Structure 1
Amino acid sequence: MCGIYAAISRRDFIFPGQDLEHLLCNRGPDHIGQAQAQVESDGTTLAVSFTSTVLALRGGHLTPQPFVDPQSGSILCWNGEAWKIGQETFVGNDGQKVFESMVKASTTQNGVAGSSHCVFEVLNSICGPFAFVFLDNTRKQLFFGRDRLGRRSLLYNNMEHANAIEFSSVADPTRGLWNEVEADGIYVLPLGKETPIGRLQLPDPSLTSTSILPVHKYSWGVKSVDSGHIPQPFPEQWEEPPNKNPPLGMFNKNIPKGTQFLTPQSSSVKHLHDYLRESLKDRILNIPIPPGLDSVHNVRVAVLFSGGLDCTVLARIAHDLLPLGDHIDLINVAFENPRVIHAMQNTPKSKNQASLHTQNRYTLNFPEARPFERVSSLLSPFESCPDRETGRKAFQELLNVCPNRVWRFIAVNVPYAETLVHRTRVVSLIHPHNTEMDLSIAYALYFAARGTGIVSSGVDEGLTPYTTPARILLSGLGADELFGGYTRHATAFNRKGFPGLLDELELDVNRLGKRNLGRDDRVMSHWGREARFPYLDEELVKWAVGLPIWEKCGFGTAPSNEQEPHIDPSKKVLRLLAYKLGMLSVAREKKRAIQFGARTAKMEIGTTKGTSLIS
């Protein structure tokens, strides 16, 4: 993973500045590199600068960035993980391989000139998360974009006062108003005297934008373009052909005929297991040893662990894949929420007995933090959080089912005072997102990714301060959208039956690339860790999208016999997989949004809504 920055100017070279460079180095603490180029095109000269910071996670050694081709002068800043390029699974340094493929696609080969479309085809063939900026110095073009699911952050900032444009993984809001590059395709900016640098406006939804800047776009999934018929540069009125190949596959909207039963023996349960194993293999095997790792804390992978269905299934399958000598950390975050505490004060004491713990357990994570003012020193606001309760329950089940593995449960306790200390930083990291819901979700991810808390390897062991050395964080995001896990999916079925449910699921799948994954990437990567999303593997997504509704949900049906498990119909295929893997309690766990499970939602007493702008 990397922090990337690029700037184009008609004047002098522009660099990130001290504050922005510091943010980029937080993302990539292992190396920082820079490259510059003067691009001569149409009688004008543009100054193009690149900065990359590196978190070394691929290959046997650190590979510096930016990548520079001395022959053509082309340059690449790459922040991604190319698990596959075409049909080839790639294990070594993927950035170098991607760069070589892009340079080859853009340069003259055997007397035939390369093209923008050739570069796009290289990017379109990649399975994995990425964001990038590529200077094609052969054809005098700048490519930039994000993968089709938007799993990595890329922002742009118009610097009209400096007659420049800059791109970055993370924003410095004091430098201007940043915007997010959409994850709907690859953008191409022809460089020349007609380019009014400093007023970038990305086209949406057409291929070309003639209003401000001639930025062109190749949409994901479009394969019917014959690059030999596309003049370079693009003509003003050239239109992209209809998208006959949806980038995430064709959504299956068939309605079941008669009663269909989903059981532990159903083929979709087995196939889901297979797809998740393959997805996890790419994401957790062959990880370099983190700096400072010792035999006592032999851990390379941590799980963002609420104790819910999605993350616990990942932890359980990871156990089957990793050597037993590798430990697995489970990061569980809980917050002191003044609004909830105020409500608890007015609740009869007998209902709070289960939440009583010693003052030492409360203050061990942050000894300097005092309990919220009107709360008894014996009452822990952390252990009563819903995600802490389900987390400890699922932790115990993992210990029972996988007793030969060293599991560490990291209880990340965040006092309200600590939340306030970090508020300004978190608000800056989520920029340009700016709602209270953005902030509440970001708080949970930010403190979880820090990985500092109170650790235990067994439910009855002592509690010790601990920070995970793992640089890879597994997230269960995506399972709800693919398999119908949200409450609104059940509501849609109750109101409009299968047609309503299918419409709601299709809507979720189509906007996967427009989710807030860029925001989440900026928040979690701040700690020099990389979040990976096994449910959002391209092959798994395409399989799930094409799956008939009765093979992933159980709405409208009951168990086929008394021996079948009685579990919730939402995400039933995943619940049945958990059941087959021995996680019987987890298979029945209800869905809960992270901001409510960790209690970061509505921390202030009042009427603030999630859609309210951050004050």
Structure 2
Amino acid sequence: MCGIHAIVTHDGIPTLSDSLRRSLANRGPDHFGQVETRVNGKQGARLSLAFTSTVLALRGDHVTPQPFHDASTGSVLCWNGEAWKLAGQAVEGNDGEAVLARLLAAAADDDDDDDDAGGEAVLDVLRCIEGPFAFIFFDKPSSRLFYGRDRLGRRSLLVNRDDSGFVLSSVAETASPGWFEVEADGIYVVNLTREDDERGVFVSPSRRPWMIDQAADTILNIGQLNMTTPSEALPPLGSNSSVIRRLHEELTESMRMRVLHIPAPPKLEEGSNQTRVAVLFSGGLDCTVLARVASELLPQDQGIDLLNVAFENPRVALHRGQDVTTSIYEACPDRITGRKAFAELAVVCPSRKWRFVAVDVPYTETLAHRSQVIYLMHPHNTEMDLSIAYALYFAARGAGVAQERPSDAPQAYSTTARVLFSGLGADELFGGYSRHLAAFERSGYPGLVDEIKLDVSRLGKRNLGRDDRIMAHWGREVRFPYLDERLVRWAIETPIWEKCDFQHPETESRVEPGKRVLRLLAEELGMPSVAREKKRAIQFGSRTAKMESGRTKGTNLVTPMIHDGAG
């Protein structure tokens, strides 16, 4: 994980504001670097460019400084993400260095005679990267600026463009108009030798597609959804289905890349806490399966932290009254399911050092961080954004009280993990939302397929950039195993009846039909209670929704506040 920033201006390079510098440094606390350069624009005008990168070192055996700067060509790369594979081959060592080497070789081969068609070799390198990333690459010999987010949009990149300059950044300068998410629909290219008019406004970036000659019905620039529907009644999806083993294999391979070879946190003393990964843990199906698969892969000396967040909601407290036997935090739905799932993991994996981290957030602390959260989630700006962002923000901070076994006395604790795992994506891929059931009841399998197609197709446009900005603030990287490109391709190509099974409702011996394949996998992994957990949105499970008023709508806009650098 890194913080990246670039600015192109006609009038010299402005100094980064203290708040923006601090926000970028929070994302990458291991190194702060800057590179400045100049290039001739239209009619010989001199353009000033500045690139900034901060580094959270999670690849290789040392901290690799950024921005990457090639002395022979003057080209610059700001890299934020993980290249798990390049052209199908696993990347060893530092992935940013590997990406830069390929980009430089490609840039040298590109034909620069045609302004509109040039840069194709560079584009081909970017297209072959598997993993979550955002990047800014300046090819100085051609004066081209390439930038973008991976085809699923798993890393944040914002753009602000006006007459005075062109700015790209992991986080906004301020929570003010003018900042927009860079779409995850392609790779963007700006030719800095061309400008629109005498005002010196930079030309609009050209968008290059992720896939060449892709079919019209391609989803997420990855593959085509299997739209087949059964022509006759099918037997229930059961434990003997081969698709369950295939899901286990796909998920294990996705987790293997993301959970192994994570370096120990800096300054970690020998023999001390060796926990390097944590799970954003509601106790629900998606996250608990990730924790269970992670335990299959990690060495036994490494623990796994389960970060479970609960909020003091004054509206809920008002209705509880004074005569209560359980704390307001322990009464939160996600705390209840979290403790149940923790107990089941402790039984099925007794040799693993689990640590259940109860993150309790008083209402006063929520208010104290409100301006910080609004700033980080910008340009998202609704009450629903805020309620989800609160939960992710405090969970990622990872500070609370911890237990290594359900019977242990809780102790104050802050996680040492710098990699967080999220179960996001499972509901969209495997039919886990209530609207999927409603679509099936309304229109059968054709309606269900259409609803899932809609959900999957907009994964890259919704909330991943926001979530990245929120959680990276604490110097941690969130990883999404269900959103691995190969797992996604397999999932969307799998027939709908092998993923969910609304034709056969839940019974005493049959788990819920939504995400049934994942529920059956949980059963196979020894977690029957987890397999039967109901879907619950994070804002309701942690009780961040409707904190002040039950009449607040999720679509209401939040009231902006001046960002003061809190937190």
Q: TM-score range by the shorter chain?
A: over 0.9
The question of 1:287 aligning with 2:262 is answered: yes
- Deviation per residue, 1:149-170 (Å, 9 max, x gap): 100000112343xx21111101
1:127 aligned partner? 130
2:453 aligned partner? 506
Relative to 1, partners in 2 of residues 1:64 and 1:243: Cα closer, same or farther, differing over 3 Å?
A: farther
Report if the CA contact (8 A) 2:278-2:419 is conserved. yes
Secondary structure, in 3 states, of the residue corresponding to 1:217?
A: strand
> Aligned-residue CA RMSD in angstroms?
2.1
Which of 540, 546, 556 is residue 596 of structure 1 equivalent to?
540
The answer for unaligned runs of 5 or more in structure 1 is 201-211, 225-240, 356-379
1:526 aligned partner? 473
The question of 1:340 aligning with 2:341 is answered: no
1:363 aligned partner? none
2:225 aligned partner? 251
Task: Give, in angstroms, the shift of residue 343 of structure 1.
Answer: 2.3
Task: Give, in angstroms, the shift of residue 409 of structure 1.
Answer: 0.2
Q: What letter matches 1:249 in structure 2?
A: G
Q: What letter matches 1:38 in structure 2?
A: R
Which of 273, 278, 286 is residue 302 of structure 1 equivalent to?
278
Report if the CA contact (8 A) 2:110-2:118 is conserved. no
Report if the CA contact (8 A) 1:159-1:176 is conserved. no
- Percent identity between matched residues is 55
1:236 aligned partner? none
Report if the CA contact (8 A) 2:278-2:306 is conserved. yes
Secondary structure, in 3 states, of the residue corresponding to 1:299?
A: coil
- Deviation per residue, 1:275-325 (Å, 9 max, x gap): 111101110100001123342411000000000000000000101000111
1:205 aligned partner? none
- Which moved further from structure 2: 461-470 or 174-183? 174-183
1:23 aligned partner? 23
1:4 aligned partner? 4
Q: What letter matches 2:228 in structure 1?
A: N
Superposition map of 1:107-146 within 5 A: 107-108=108-109, 115-146=118-149
Q: What letter matches 1:601 in structure 2?
A: A
Looking at structure 1, the residues matched to 272 and 175 of structure 2 have their Cα atoms a distance apart, in angstroms, of 43
Which of 288, 294, 298 is residue 318 of structure 1 equivalent to?
294
Task: Give, in angstroms, the shift of residue 243 of structure 1.
Answer: 4.8
Task: Give, in angstroms, the shift of residue 109 of structure 1.
Answer: 7.3
Secondary structure, in 3 states, of the residue corresponding to 1:77?
A: strand
Q: What letter matches 1:5 in structure 2?
A: H
Looking at structure 1, the residues matched to 331 and 479 of structure 2 have their Cα atoms a distance apart, in angstroms, of 29
Report if the CA contact (8 A) 1:190-1:214 is conserved. no
The answer for unaligned runs of 5 or more in structure 2 is 560-567
Looking at structure 2, the residues matched to 425 and 111 of structure 1 have their Cα atoms a distance apart, in angstroms, of 44
Relative to 1, partners in 2 of residues 1:91 and 1:556: Cα closer, same or farther, differing over 3 Å?
A: same
Task: Give, in angstroms, the shift of residue 456 of structure 1.
Answer: 0.6
- Deviation per residue, 1:420-452 (Å, 9 max, x gap): 010011011111111000000000000000000
1:217 aligned partner? 207
Report if the CA contact (8 A) 1:44-1:193 is conserved. no
Relative to 1, partners in 2 of residues 1:109 and 1:124: Cα closer, same or farther, differing over 3 Å?
A: closer
What's the TM-score once normalised by structure 2's chain length?
0.94
Secondary structure, in 3 states, of the residue corresponding to 2:52?
A: strand
1:36 aligned partner? 36
- Deviation per residue, 1:531-589 (Å, 9 max, x gap): 00000000000000001011100110258xx9x94210000000000000001100000
Looking at structure 2, the residues matched to 405 and 186 of structure 1 have their Cα atoms a distance apart, in angstroms, of 42
1:569 aligned partner? 513
Looking at structure 1, the residues matched to 433 and 148 of structure 2 have their Cα atoms a distance apart, in angstroms, of 30
Aligned residues: 553
2:239 aligned partner? 264
Q: What letter matches 1:137 in structure 2?
A: K
Looking at structure 2, the residues matched to 585 and 196 of structure 1 have their Cα atoms a distance apart, in angstroms, of 65
Looking at structure 2, the residues matched to 434 and 170 of structure 1 have their Cα atoms a distance apart, in angstroms, of 14
Task: Give, in angstroms, the shift of residue 329 of structure 1.
Answer: 0.5
The question of 1:329 aligning with 2:343 is answered: no
- Deviation per residue, 1:216-275 (Å, 9 max, x gap): 101222x23xxxxxxxxxxxxxxxx86575412110111113214311221111111001
What's the TM-score once normalised by structure 1's chain length?
0.87
Looking at structure 2, the residues matched to 77 and 451 of structure 1 have their Cα atoms a distance apart, in angstroms, of 28
Looking at structure 2, the residues matched to 307 and 425 of structure 1 have their Cα atoms a distance apart, in angstroms, of 27
Task: Give, in angstroms, the shift of residue 173 of structure 1.
Answer: 1.4
Superposition map of 1:332-411 within 5 A: 332-345=308-321, 353=325, 355=326, 380-411=327-358
Secondary structure, in 3 states, of the residue corresponding to 1:310?
A: helix
Superposition map of 1:190-201 within 5 A: 190-195=191-196
1:471 aligned partner? 418
Secondary structure, in 3 states, of the residue corresponding to 2:301?
A: coil
Task: Give, in angstroms, the shift of residue 179 of structure 1.
Answer: 1.1
1:181 aligned partner? 182
2:565 aligned partner? none
- Deviation per residue, 1:40-92 (Å, 9 max, x gap): 24422211100000000000111100011112111111101000111101131
Secondary structure, in 3 states, of the residue corresponding to 2:473?
A: helix
- Deviation per residue, 1:203-225 (Å, 9 max, x gap): xxxxxxxxx8332101222x23x
1:152 aligned partner? 155
Task: Give, in angstroms, the shift of residue 505 of structure 1.
Answer: 0.1
Report if the CA contact (8 A) 2:175-2:378 is conserved. no
- Which moved further from structure 2: 113-122 or 134-143? 113-122
Task: Give, in angstroms, the shift of residue 344 of structure 1.
Answer: 2.2
Task: Give, in angstroms, the shift of residue 339 of structure 1.
Answer: 1.1
Looking at structure 2, the residues matched to 480 and 50 of structure 1 have their Cα atoms a distance apart, in angstroms, of 38
Report if the CA contact (8 A) 2:86-2:130 is conserved. yes
Looking at structure 2, the residues matched to 198 and 457 of structure 1 have their Cα atoms a distance apart, in angstroms, of 63
Secondary structure, in 3 states, of the residue corresponding to 1:279?
A: helix
- Which moved further from structure 2: 315-324 or 170-179? 170-179
Task: Give, in angstroms, the shift of residue 399 of structure 1.
Answer: 0.4
Looking at structure 2, the residues matched to 271 and 174 of structure 1 have their Cα atoms a distance apart, in angstroms, of 44
Report if the CA contact (8 A) 1:331-1:410 is conserved. yes
2:564 aligned partner? none
